[in-house]
C-alpha cells in the first residue's frame, strides 16, 4: 500500500508552462482537495495524480485554482468528479464548477448561470483547456461526468438529462430526457451508454450511436436491479467493444453486492457472472479497463468516505485480490479514474475506420498505425447494431510499425452497421469500433409539430408500423400500416413531449413531437 505526500506539490502556483507530461499506459486519478482545506460543499481544489499501474507515483497536474478559469468540485458530493478518456484517446475529460474554491455557499446549490458548469480537457502533454460550458444545465444540482469523441462533448448529472455541445456551441442541447438523473457515460465502439440509479437501474443505451440532436429515446441495456441486497448503485463502467463483457462499479458494501460487477452477454441477455472485491468492505465508484491486456486490467476508486483508494485487479477469477495503488491522504479524496491519453486498448492501433456509398457499393476503408501479430480482419455487417454476420476477410501485415491502409467493397443493400474483427495468428481476436452507413432508404414527414390530437405520416416507401412513445420510452400507441402514409389519433394522451417511431421492415426512424 502506498500513500503520497502532496502538500508541497500543491503549494505550487498553477501555470500552463509547468504542465506535466502524461505517459501512455499509466493511470490517472482525479483528486479533490489540497491536503490543507477541509473537504466541504463549498468546493475544493482539483488535481490529477499520475501513477504507473504498479503504483509508483509519477507527477500531478494541478487544475486552475485562481482567476477566471478556476475550477472546483464539491468535497462532499460523492457523485461528482467522474473522469473519462476521450473516445479517440486524445485527452482526459471531466466537468466541474467554473469558480475558485471555496465558494460563498454550497457549489451544487448554485444556478448554472451564476456558476457555469464547464468541461475540462487535459491532453497528453498536461495542457489544460476549457472547451465548452453551460449556463442552464444541472442548475442548482450536481454535474457528474463528461465524455468526448474528440470533437463533440456529452455531459450529465442531476435534473437535466444528457446534454451535448462542442468547442463552438454550449452544452445546451439535451439529447435525451429518458433519464434525468445520470451518473456516468462512455462508449463501446461508436455507441454511447450511461449509468443511472433512478427508474430502471443499470446501464442504458443512449439513442443510436453518439447522438447530437434532441429527442433521442434511451433504453435499458443492462438491468442491475436484484444484484445483491437493497437498491443497486451503479457508477462507472467499461464495456468490451463487442458488447459481450461489462464491468460495473457499484458503491454498495461488498456484503450487499457492491464492488466490481462482471456482466456477460449471451444473445440479448446480460447475466451477472460474479462480483470482484475491493480489498475492503467498501464498494467502488469509478472504473477504467484496459481490454488489451490478458486478462483485462481493471483500475477503480473505492467508496470509503475518507482515505479511499485506487486499486488494480487483473480478472483471472472471481477470487482475485485487489492491489492498492494509492491511498488518499487527509483532506483529499479520490474520485474519477482513467488511463492516460494515448493508451491503446487494441492489439492493432486503428487511426481511422470509415464507410461511404458510391454507385450502389459500400466502400469500407481503415488505417492502422501499428500492428502486432496481425493475421487479418474479418468484416462483419449488422442491420440492428447487435447481431453481426461475416461478409469478408482482408489479410493483415503481421508485425508493423508503419501506417497501413485497407479497403473492402460490399454491395449496398440498406442502411447497416459494420465492424472489423481483428484476428491474431494465435487465434486471439478483438473488435474495432462500430460504424454505420446511412443511405436514403427511408424519408419520413410527420405533421403538424406541435400537434393537437391528429398527426399525419408520409414517407417515400411502404411502411410497416408506427409507434408513439412517451418521454419514459413507454409505447402508448401502436398501429400497423400498409402503404406509404397514415394518420394517428392521439386523443387521450396528455400534453407533452412524445416520440414517433416508424418502421419499414428494414429501418427505423424516430422523431420528436410536442402535443399541446
Q: Using one digit for the tens of pLDDT, what is the confidence trace for 243-294?
A: 899 999 999 999 999 999 999 999 989 999 999 999 999 999 999 999 888 8
pLDDT digit string, tens, across residues 88-100: 778 999 999 999 9
Least-confidence region, from 251-265, 425-439, 460-474? 425-439
Which triple of cell numbers denotes residue 293? 491486456
Which triple of cell numbers denotes residue 240? 468490451
Average pLDDT in the chain: 89
- Residues with Cβ < 8 Å from 380, sequence gap 6 or more? 388, 389, 390, 391, 418, 419, 420, 421
Architecture per CATH, domain 349-437, reads as Sandwich (2.60)
pLDDT digit string, tens, across residues 31-85: 999 999 999 999 999 999 999 999 999 999 999 999 999 999 999 999 999 999 9
Helices (H), 76-200: none
As beta bridge partners, residue 250 has 234, 259
Domain ranges of the chain: 7-339, 349-437, 444-515
pLDDT higher than 80, residue 402:
no
Q: Using CA atoms, how far apart are residues 182 and 11, in angstroms rounded to an integer?
A: 35
Q: Using CA atoms, how far apart are residues 99 and 446, in angstroms rounded to an integer?
A: 45
Instruction: From 169, 11, 143, select the one nearest 71 (Cα to Cα).
Output: 143
- Identical fold for domains 349-437 and 444-515, yes or no, is yes
Which triple of cell numbers denotes residue 205? 443505451
Instruction: From 156, 256, 162, select the one nearest 214 (Cα to Cα).
Output: 162
Q: Using CA atoms, how far apart are residues 90 and 458, in angstroms rounded to an integer?
A: 43
Architecture per CATH, domain 444-515, reads as Sandwich (2.60)
Q: What is the pLDDT of residue 347?
A: 62
Q: What is the pLDDT of residue 352?
A: 83
- Residues with Cβ < 8 Å from 450, sequence gap 6 or more? 513, 514, 515, 516
Q: What is the pLDDT of residue 345?
A: 52
Query: Where do we find the cell 504507473?
Result: 52
Q: What is the CATH number of domain 7-339?
A: 2.120.10.30
Amino acid at each position: 500500500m502506498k500513500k503520497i505526500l502532496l502538500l508541497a506539490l500543491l503549494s505550487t502556483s498553477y501555470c500552463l508552462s509547468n504542465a506535466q507530461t502524461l505517459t501512455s499506459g499509466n493511470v490517472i486519478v482525479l483528486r479533490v482537495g489540497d491536503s490543507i482545506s477541509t473537504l466541504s460543499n463549498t468546493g475544493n481544489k482539483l488535481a490529477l495524480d499520475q501513477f504507473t499501474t504498479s503504483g509508483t507515483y509519477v507527477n500531478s497536474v494541478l487544475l486552475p485554482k485562481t482567476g477566471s478559469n478556476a475550477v472546483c468540485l464539491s468535497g462532499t458530493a460523492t457523485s461528482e468528479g467522474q473522469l473519462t478518456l476521450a473516445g479517440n484517446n486524445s485527452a482526459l475529460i471531466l466537468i466541474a464548477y467554473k469558480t475558485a474554491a471555496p465558494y460563498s455557499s454550497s457549489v451544487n446549490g448554485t444556478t448554472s448561470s451564476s456558476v457555469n458548469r464547464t468541461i475540462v480537457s487535459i491532453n497528453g502533454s498536461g495542457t489544460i483547456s476549457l472547451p465548452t460550458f453551460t449556463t442552464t444545465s444541472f442548475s442548482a444540482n450536481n454535474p457528474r461526468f463528461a465524455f468526448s469523441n474528440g470533437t463533440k462533448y456529452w455531459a450529465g448529472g442531476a435534473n437535466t438529462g444528457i446534454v451535448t455541445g462542442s468547442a463552438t456551441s454550449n452544452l445546451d442541447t439535451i439529447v435525451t430526457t429518458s433519464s434525468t438523473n445520470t451518473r456516468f457515460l462512455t462508449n463501446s465502439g461508436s455507441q454511447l451508454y450511461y449509468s443511472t440509479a433512478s427508474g430502471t437501474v443499470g446501464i442504458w443505451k443512449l439513442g443510436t450511436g453518439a447522438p447530437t440532436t434532441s429527442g433521442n429515446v434511451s433504453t435499458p441495456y443492462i438491468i442491475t436491479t436484484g444484484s445483491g441486497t437493497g437498491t443497486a448503485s451503479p457508477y462507472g463502467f467499461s464495456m468490451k467493444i463487442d458488447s459481450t463483457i461489462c464491468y460495473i462499479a457499484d458503491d454498495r458494501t461488498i456484503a450487499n453486492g457492491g464492488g466490481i460487477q462482471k456482466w456477460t452477454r449471451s444473445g440479448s441477455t446480460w447475466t451477472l457472472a460474479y462480483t470482484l472485491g475491493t480489498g475492503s468492505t467498501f464498494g467502488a465508484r469509478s472504473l477504467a479497463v484496459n481490454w488489451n491486456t490478458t486478462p483485462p486490467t481493471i483500475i477503480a476508486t473505492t467508496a470509503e468516505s475518507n482515505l479511499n483508494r485506487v486499486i488494480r485487479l487483473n480478472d483471472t477469477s472471481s477470487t482475485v485480490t485487489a492491489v492498492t495503488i494509492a491511498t488518499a491522504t487527509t483532506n483529499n479524496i479520490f474520485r474519477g479514474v482513467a488511463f492516460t491519453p494515448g493508451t491503446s486498448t487494441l492489439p492493432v492501433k486503428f487511426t481511422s475506420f470509415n464507410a461511404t456509398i458510391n454507385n450502389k457499393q459500400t466502400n469500407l476503408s481503415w488505417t492502422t498505425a501499428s500492428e502486432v501479430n496481425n493475421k487479418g480482419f474479418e468484416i462483419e455487417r449488422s442491420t440492428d447494431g447487435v447481431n453481426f454476420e461475416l461478409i469478408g476477410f482482408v489479410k493483415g501485415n503481421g508485425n508493423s510499425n508503419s501506417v497501413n491502409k485497407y479497403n473492402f467493397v460490399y454491395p449496398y443493400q440498406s442502411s447497416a452497421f459494420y465492424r472489423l474483427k481483428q484476428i491474431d495468428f494465435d487465434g486471439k481476436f478483438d473488435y474495432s469500433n462500430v460504424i454505420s452507413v446511412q443511405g436514403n432508404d427511408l424519408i419520413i414527414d410527420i405533421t403538424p409539430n406541435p400537434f393537437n390530437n391528429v398527426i399525419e405520416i408520409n414517407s417515400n416507401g411502404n411502411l410497416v408500423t408506427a409507434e408513439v412513445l412517451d418521454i419514459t420510452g413507454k409505447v402508448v400507441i401502436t398501429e400497423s400500416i400498409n402503404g406509404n402514409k397514415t394518420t394517428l389519433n392521439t386523443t387521450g394522451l396528455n400534453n407533452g413531449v412524445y416520440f414517433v417511431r416508424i418502421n419499414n421492415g428494414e429501418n427505423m426512424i424516430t422523431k420528436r413531437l410536442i402535443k399541446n
